């Protein structure tokens, strides 16, 4: 009972319902709290002295409780406990000092050893880290420098490709002189060469093409240039752009291509031209149309000047343009032979309408227009199977196949190189003359001479084969060549533009 009474004694205002063991434990924990718990002197004190000190104080307290009153006993007991604790703490301190010193020294040694080990590890890794960080910084700086140099280089030239291995340098123009130029059909045979010329002058060029006959590889060497843009679009659909000049070249020009989809061909010549004229009207741009020598029909004047009205009969079949229905095969009627409804009419009549629209916009809306009538042209990037006489003769000679000529080969042709045509288009656009202009080569050569020349330069074993021809302009389709009552399979001859002789048997 005495033990239970003492356990609930209150010691002033600092401790309430706390036994002596808890008090001693709290005091010692505060005194040695900076030491590690696993080697703390408090644990040692609790294991060696705790029971003895507690028993001694409890015995003294019990004896004084009997002699004194409860209040006096509490006060005396508090003094005794404080004295006992002070005495015990002093003894414990003296006894534990060597152990604490030894433990502290070990801790210091361990700490110093750990610091030294970390320092050594840091010293070893520092050169590697510095070397790695420095190398990365150098690599990044070099990559940045190379990137800037590459961008500057791309802004001054084209990239060599398989189609165009020649590097083309581009000029640097001030903003006041640099034009934004749209080239429809810019990925085609003539269009891609025109893009080259405009890019080398330093202008900003937009090539628009739907790739019906054009090819992306024709402009691949400009794809990374900052002033070149390729837009995949069909001119039969309107487009909103801001440009200064428009070169309207979009339209298939070789017989196999424009006869493949005649409706599309005439829509390109009519609707496409209307859309480009509308764009030119809106942004007040100058526009150039590439027309064709086909608009002269079956000419009776050679060579044809721009003032020549042509030989086209719009009311009925002309003896020069088709054959009498009783002299051809019975399954063909005279309407099929007429120029206006024949297989070439989608191209010929479409170009005539396009020219008419150009000058209608000029007179009504004051649009600045140019019209170029193109004759036979050849050169790099020409499609090998476009049905024209140049490419056909070359393909036949390279394959050692017979080089076919209809007639005796005395009919004459004129051919211009594509670079000459591009120079003509560029001069016409930048000049002040706004009436139609023929662009071709005034020098004519016989077809036979031309075939012999190609055979010589290609060192071919091909033979030149002559087929019966007709003095009049023959009728040509995708499947055959018709001459009077005789049907002869069409060879590789074909040309879409620029017949400069009435004895025209090549298409």
Catalytic residues: 347
CA-to-CA dists, residue 502 to 96, 301, 320, 499, 505, angstroms = 130, 9, 9, 8, 9
Please count the other Cβ atoms lying within 10 Å of the Cβ belonging to residue 507. Answer: 25
Rg from Cα positions in the chain: 51
Would you state the structure tokens that stand for residue 199, as one six-digit string? 């890019």
- According to DSSP, the β-strands at 486-488 and 416-417 are unpaired
3-state secondary structure 379-414: CCCCCCCCCCHHHHHHHHHHCCCCEEEECCCCCEEC
d(CA 122, CA 129): 10
Do residues 74 and 9 touch, judged by C-beta distance below 8 A? yes
d(CA 28, CA 23): 9
Residue 487 has phi, psi (to 5 degrees) of -105, 125
CA-to-CA dists, residue 453 to 49, 143, 263, angstroms = 125, 53, 38
- Long-range CB contact pairs, 260-263, < 8 A, 24+: 262/343, 262/346, 263/346
Please count the other Cβ atoms lying within 10 Å of the Cβ belonging to residue 246. Answer: 26
d(CA 492, CA 394): 10
- DSSP three-state, residue 198: helix
CA-to-CA dists, residue 318 to 30, 321, 334, 338, 496, angstroms = 125, 5, 10, 8, 20
Would you state the structure tokens that stand for residue 206, as one six-digit string? 């937009």
Nearest to 463 by CA among 416, 419, 400, 409: 400
DSSP 236: T
- Across 261-292, b (16+ Cβ under 10 Å) vs e yields eeebbbbbbbbbbbbbbebbeeeebbbbbbbb
Q: Mark residue 387 as left, alpha or beta (left: phi above 0; alpha: psi -120 to 50; beta: remaining).
A: left
Do residues 257 and 320 touch, judged by C-beta distance below 8 A? no
């Amino acid at each position: 009972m005495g033990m239970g009474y003492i356990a609930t004694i209150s010691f002033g205002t600092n401790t309430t319902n706390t036994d002596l063991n808890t008090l001693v434990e709290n005091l010692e924990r505060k005194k040695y709290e900076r030491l590690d718990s696993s080697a703390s002197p408090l644990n040692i004190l609790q294991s060696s002295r705790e029971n003895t000190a507690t028993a001694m104080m409890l015995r003294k307290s019990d004896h004084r409780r009997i002699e004194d009153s409860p209040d006096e006993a509490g006060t005396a007991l508090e003094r005794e406990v404080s004295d006992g604790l002070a005495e015990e703490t002093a003894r414990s301190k003296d006894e534990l000092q060597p152990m604490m010193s030894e433990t502290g020294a070990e801790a210091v040694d361990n700490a110093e050893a750990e610091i030294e080990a970390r320092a050594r590890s840091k010293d070893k890794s520092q050169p590697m880290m510095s070397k790695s960080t420095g190398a990365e910084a150098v690599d990044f700086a070099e990559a940045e420098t190379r990137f800037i140099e590459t961008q500057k280089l791309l802004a001054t030239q084209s990239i060599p490709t398989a189609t165009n291995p020649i590097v083309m340098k581009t000029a640097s123009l001030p903003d006041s002189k640099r034009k934004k130029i749209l080239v429809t059909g810019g990925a085609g045979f003539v269009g891609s060469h025109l893009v080259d010329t405009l890019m080398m002058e330093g202008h900003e060029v937009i090539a628009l093409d739907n790739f019906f006959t054009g090819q992306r590889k024709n402009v691949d060497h400009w794809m990374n240039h900052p002033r070149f843009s390729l837009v995949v679009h069909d001119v039969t659909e309107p487009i909103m752009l801001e440009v200064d000049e428009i070169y309207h070249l979009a339209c298939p020009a070789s017989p196999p291509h424009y006869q493949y989809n005649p409706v599309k061909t005439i829509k390109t010549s009519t609707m496409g031209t209307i859309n480009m004229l509308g764009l030119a009207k809106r942004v007040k741009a100058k526009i150039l149309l590439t027309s064709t020598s086909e608009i002269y029909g079956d000419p009776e004047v050679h060579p044809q000047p721009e003032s020549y009205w042509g030989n086209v009969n719009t009311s009925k079949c002309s003896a020069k343009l088709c054959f009498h229905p009783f002299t051809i095969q019975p399954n063909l009627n005279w309407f099929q032979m007429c120029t206006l409804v024949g297989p070439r009419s989608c191209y010929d009549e479409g170009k005539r309408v396009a020219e008419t629209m150009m000058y209608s916009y000029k007179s009504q809306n004051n649009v600045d227009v140019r019209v170029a009538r193109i004759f036979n042209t050849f050169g790099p990037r020409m499609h090998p199977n476009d049905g024209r006489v140049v490419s056909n003769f070359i393909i036949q000679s390279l394959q050692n196949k017979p080089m076919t000529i209809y007639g005796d080969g005395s009919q004459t042709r004129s051919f211009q190189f594509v670079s000459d045509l591009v120079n003509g288009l560029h001069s016409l656009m930048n000049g002040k003359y706004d009436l139609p202009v023929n662009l071709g080569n005034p020098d004519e050569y016989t077809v036979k001479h031309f075939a012999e020349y190609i055979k010589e330069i290609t060192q071919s074993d091909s033979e030149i084969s002559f087929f019966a021809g007709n003095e009049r302009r023959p009728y040509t389709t995708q499947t055959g060549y018709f001459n009077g009552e005789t049907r002869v399979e069409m060879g590789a001859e074909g040309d879409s533009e620029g017949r400069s002789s009435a004895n025209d048997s090549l298409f």
